[in-house]
């Protein structure tokens, strides 16, 4: 059991409203069709969902923005969308979050539509998901546009989150150049990675894959604590990163800190799991925010682990408020 100084936590939480974080990555719209099932279709052996409610929200890198906003953190958003009606919805949703419209750069592509993922839910059960997307890497001109925007705002930011859903925004070249620029300016860089880019995030402050992703990248299963420790140490060493976090579902998370050459295993705090959708976005958002606000690596991991325990108890890609976070930390008696 690891403990957190309550005074330090509260001091960091109070700084979040002045914290600014650049979010760069794949912007997605999440649509939910929520209803109930009372019968099977006469046309095919599938359930008929009687839709009673619909909602559209930010997904992918947009869900990171949403999580940061809930904490009071301001975001500068860099990404790509289509030149279509869905992009207008994306803009409208971003405008409701704590983002800086004058600092955001959302490229409008004629080639790539705005990504839309539709989830059909009956009760607490996801019946199916419908994906509407075409994935192509950024063109050289698009990459240059994002890099120029990034270079203009990096000095104002406290940290950078790379939210990689492998939809084409984060190319190998853009990953390398953004991390280099951020490191030159001594900024925190956190990465929610994709396996296809796994060893391209060199010099990032921390990466936050789940144990399946980390294992796949290394070509092995990560099941025991010792296997996770070995993997975290290797990945951090290969990437020349000061730390490495592996999230482990019901086993919580493991954080390797290079300067201490030690892995800390933090047990889960979830009471009941309804939906793990978006939990990774919450982890990286909360971890980055509190690290930028002055907490240490282990302290920030304890807080982000508690945040994940809150959101998996909700339906869909949800967020956690500071009030919910404080309550979760107090209930688990992690304060000393």
Active site residue 180: no
| Residue 24: partners with Cβ closer than 8 Å, 6 or more residues away | 61, 77, 78, 79, 146, 150, 160, 161, 162, 163, 169, 170, 174, 178
Contact 120, 126 (CB under 8 A): yes
Catalytic annotation, pick one of 158, 164, 192, 281:
281
Distance CA 154, CA 141 (A): 20
* Continuous H helices in 71-184: 85-95, 140-153, 172-184
> Is 97 exposed, middle or buried, given 0-12, 13-18 or 19+ CB atoms closer than 10 A?
middle
3-state secondary structure 20-72: EEEEEECEEEEEEEEEEEEEECCCCCCEEEEEEEEEEEEEEHHHHHHHHHHCC
Active site positions, annotated: 281
């Amino acid at each position: 059991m690891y403990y957190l100084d309550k005074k330090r936590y509260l001091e960091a939480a109070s700084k979040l409203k002045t914290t600014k974080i650049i979010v760069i990555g794949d912007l997605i719209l999440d649509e939910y069709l929520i209803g109930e099932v009372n019968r099977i279709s006469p046309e095919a052996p599938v359930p008929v969902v009687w839709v009673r409610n619909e909602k559209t929200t930010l997904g992918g890198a947009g869900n990171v923005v949403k999580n940061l906003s809930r904490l009071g953190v301001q975001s500068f958003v860099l990404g790509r969308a289509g030149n279509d009606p869905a992009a207008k919805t994306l803009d409208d949703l971003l405008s409701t979050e704590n983002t800086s419209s004058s600092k955001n750069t959302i490229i409008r592509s004629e080639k790539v539509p705005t990504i839309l993922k539709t989830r059909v839910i009956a009760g607490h059960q996801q019946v199916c998901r419908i994906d509407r997307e075409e994935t192509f890497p950024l063109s050289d001109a698009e990459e240059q546009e994002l890099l120029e925007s990034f270079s203009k705002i990096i000095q104002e930011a406290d940290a950078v989150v790379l939210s990689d859903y492998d939809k084409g925004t984060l190319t190998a070249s853009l990953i390398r150049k953004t991390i280099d620029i951020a490191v030159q300016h001594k900024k925190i860089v956190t990465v929610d990675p994709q396996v296809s880019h796994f060893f391209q995030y060199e010099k990032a402050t921390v990466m936050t894959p789940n144990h399946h992703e980390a294992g796949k990248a290394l070509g092995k299963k990560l099941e025991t604590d010792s296997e996770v420790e070995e993997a975290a140490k290797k990945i951090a060493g290969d990437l020349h990163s000061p730390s490495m976090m592996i999230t482990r579902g019901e086993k919580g998370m493991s954080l390797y800190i290079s300067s201490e050459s030690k892995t800390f295993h933090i047990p889960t705090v979830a009471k009941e799991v309804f939906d793990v959708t978006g939990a990774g976005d919450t982890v990286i958002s909360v971890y980055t925010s509190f690290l930028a606000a002055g907490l240490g690596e282990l302290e920030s991991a304890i807080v982000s682990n508690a945040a994940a325990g809150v959101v998996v108890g909700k339906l869909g890609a949800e967020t956690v408020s500071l009030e919910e976070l404080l309550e979760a930390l107090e209930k688990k008696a992690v304060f000393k």
